[in-house]
Chain A
Amino acid sequence: MPETLDGRTDEFGIEAVRELLELIEQTDITELLIERGSSKLHVKRGNAAPPPQPPPALSTVPLALSVPPMSGMAMPQAAHAPVGYAPPPVVSAPPYAASHSETAPAESDLPDGHVITSPMVGTYYTAPSPKDPPFVHEGDEVHAGDTVGIVEAMKMMNEIETEVSGRVVRLLVKNEQPVEYGQPLMVIAPL
């Protein structure tokens, strides 16, 4: 091979790029970022080809789940996927997957304020147990660090703290409702 990814002088020689493009052509990959030392190669398909459709029978129920990115950990998932394990299809990113922001694009009628989102897929609980009163009601004043709800998955009770102080102006999910990663849970208006 004239130029390879191992090439010392040119990390991403034209031949290597061509090979990569051919590889991408043959797959459903729409975007690829490779970093080697100080060199970066970012390939992105133009025209936003529609994402591959899920297998016909895949999850249409409200229990649907997506895998949030585990940023910060060195986990090249495909390379390390255990034998016999099919990685979850990279289809239909959840509606809120990209929104860690203060506003929720799909909820344009949200009141102004800080939007608390779910850190994981799971079931939302408004109270510590069915016998307890809800952590918060609309109109309640909360302080940074207060627990405002629980998202449960796999017997993991994740108490959601508010990062801001303010008033709860909108509750967006009901008790025992399935929630997606990044889904807005409530809006807090700073006082």
Chain B
Amino acid sequence: MSATSRVVVVGAGTTGLAAARELLARGLDVDLVSLAPPRRSVVASSADAIAAARPDEGPEGIAAHFADSRRPGAGAIEDAALRALLASAPDLILRLDALGVPLSRDETGASVRRRGSGHRRDRLATAGPQTRRAVVEALDRALTVEARSGRSHLRRLEGWEVVAIVVDDRHDCAGVVAQDLRSMEIHAIAAGAVLLASGGFAAAWSTSSAAQGALGTATAAALRAGAVLADVDAVELAPLALVGFAKRHAISDALRTAGARVWAPKDPTDVRRGRDVPSKERRDLLGDIDREAEGLVAPAEAARALMRALYRDGVGVFDDKHGVLEPCAYIDLVHLGGALLPEARAEVTRIASITGIDLLAQPARIAPAVHATLGGLDVRFELGAGGELAVESEIHHSTSIPGLYAAGGAACAYHWVDRLPGQRLLTSLRGGEIAAASIALRCAREAATEAEAEAEAEAEAEAEAEAESEGSMLVALRAAETAARKDYGLLLARRGDDAARPLRDELGAALDTLVGLSVDPPELGQLESDIATIAARASATCDPQDGATSANRGAPAVRRLEAVSLLARAVTASARARQGDNNDGPSCKVLIRLEGDNLIVSREVRNEDEAR
């Protein structure tokens, strides 16, 4: 059977599940390749609500949502895409509700929305800290049911890692090469289209609050295959993340909405415990900007204010044990006296169970953290006649490689700058669905062309050309498979003085200075060469330190380090290109592609009358 009706979806999180379900419903076969089963992809803190205008608000509510979400400097296409995304949000809430996601309701059964920082209306629907889990479970079940209908075929490849994106000699995406992390076998998978729903790479930063696995291996593979990245230096910051643990634990926006205070002792040498500092000796760090905005400022703005205070103005909490001022502040809920909404209470319970800290009894130390990457694979959208987003188009969510699509955290699509609470789930779910619709259109067109070619088979040359194209796809896949097997063999045999863990720590610390999460000011030139050195060591002297023939953990870890250090190089190059920018903002899109081993940077101005 021809591969045109088969789609590889990389990643089984919210984006991948939503996309796979849509693809199956549209009659395409899906290979869902993921590092872990869907339920293991869940990180509670990553998204605990979905933002959408309430149905009773009508179009005006959507306009208001857009006004809150829009950032200056966006181009016409981005605006149209964001508008369409927000317009489809109320419907998404209804559908999630119908799938059994227990989104908040009151006693009468009516849907309840809460306020979130940066939102000027109540529009967050939530199922508490477990919202993302509930969404993943509901979609996973729905996907199984969709597959049972028998219209199309779903194959789940769980515990597989994509190591290469294959492009044939016509520059079309032909499929992927993936490795089973249990048996360590490497196979090529042919596909008419590939969707990267593999998330971002926020775990590259040391000060990250993301899951360990968020390293962008598939994104790096796409970059190597010739795809273009956009704005990879843009990150979403969680303003409040508990420090002093294996990673920074991001705290839900629900606590800030509930009235949490963020403060630091006025005296930077104060050695008292947080709860013993009297209130007049506390410096409120977010109160002023919130009052000025007449509401809670968006998380990104809060994070920037905190970073200015902690890393520039010398505010912090004195660590008596080590005799240094730690760049962190306190989050404080003690004054609320335990009067909390159920959601906020659930978040307090969650934090207590993972860290042992009872936020209602004592203030806890926090600092901003890198929560997610906002840049990623550059994807395109098509505008309709009226300047709105085209209703359906095979261009939506397409990358620079024909047949390769990206959505969710892997793509730079709707939010290349500050993102509001609840927008992340919306972006990933709708992004996945829209990308799936585009892929279905592409596959249908390809199938039609193929059928046409077959019908005209008497024209011998045509048939030959067709056979040739099919052949070129297979040749490319086989070559990529052989190359990947050889690379893996070489990697296993590699010996050197470096190990993946310490190198990753070095890389993470270097990246921290770049986003301002460090007292050291970024010196981009130096940083660029530091990161290039780390990347070179990762791919030359980093020893897997593991020779196991099954369930090998060392070699994949080195491979991920190689991938993430390539992305880190792209991040620095991107930041450097933006540095010379006068308006230093989102109005300029920084694009990056790889030629040989060199990153080629180009800039594109986002303007109001942009048209493609």
Whether chain B is bound by chain A comes out as: no
Binding site for A on B (CB under 8 A): none
